[in-house]
Amino acid sequence: MPEQPEQPRSVAGRMPAAGRLEGRRVLVVGGGGRSGADPGAPVGNGQAISILAARERAAVAVADRDASAAAATVGDVAAEGGSAATVIADVADPGQCERMVAEAAAALGGLDGVVLNVGTGEGLGLEGSTAESWDRVLAVNLRAHFLVAKFALPVMDRGAIVFVGSLAGLRPGSHSPSYDASKAALLGLSRHVALEGARRGVRANVVAPGLIDTAMGRAASAARPERERARIPLRRQGSAWEVAYATTFLLSDEASYVTGQTLVVDGGLGAL
């Protein structure tokens, strides 16, 4: 096998910060740290996004249903000299979605950016899925995104919303019909939010990761070993930091003319 090329600094989250989000106030939903079954697993997407946003000089509100997970990320941000607040909420509850946005805006003095990094999957194929599991997945993977966007837009004056979706929204592969369908629907929701948000100068886009090496990714591979055998053109899984850099780009003014789009971060898996 050809020798693997040296990995870029972005894989380990070591790119130099440049103040891309200076003065911004960013809510990261699903920003808590996760150890999972593997204590040696790397950082997760929401945690990496929160830390990187703070490095880029944003004030961050880390929202999670798990208080200890949120506290872990806030601690990581503080350890680097950043500023972060904690908001505890379960996005499966519509009322908590509204409260979460209000608490984050109060803690940060407003909102300039929102990242929605929450998702779940249930059911194995059509036969193994139920109406109840379908509703649970859609409540977290789609309804929550609609509700947070609905409550966040009125308090945002310019800025950006980033939905963290999945390659499963563009091609099937999760074995969960509710997961695949919800991630595909997220693309349509993002385009609608981009249309309405344009009136306020608020952009909306989707980051669609492929196979990313996180605690949740490793758990998925343990349940479906064939996941590890995917033929990724770049010959490796991505890191949460690479998802975070793409997200930070879309939050920043570097993406000031980008809205209603899907940025795929998958090492070429979906296209090549």
257 is a catalytic site residue = no
- Which residue of the set 179, 190, 194, 212 is catalytic? 179
Residue 28 near residue 58, CB atoms below 8 Å: no
DSSP string, the chain: -PPPPPPPGGGGT-SPP--TTTT-EEEEET-----TT-TT----HHHHHHHHHHHTT-EEEEEES-HHHHHHHHHHHHHTT--EEEEE--TTSHHHHHHHHHHHHHHHTSEEEEEE-------STTTT--HHHHHHHHIIIIIHHHHHHHHHGGGEEEEEEEEE--GGGTS--SS-HHHHHHHHHHHHHHHHHHHHHGGGTEEEEEEEE-SB-SHHHHHHHHH-GGGGG---TTSS-B-HHHHHHHHHHHHSGGGTT--S-EEEESTTTTT-
Q: What is the set of active-site residues?
A: 179
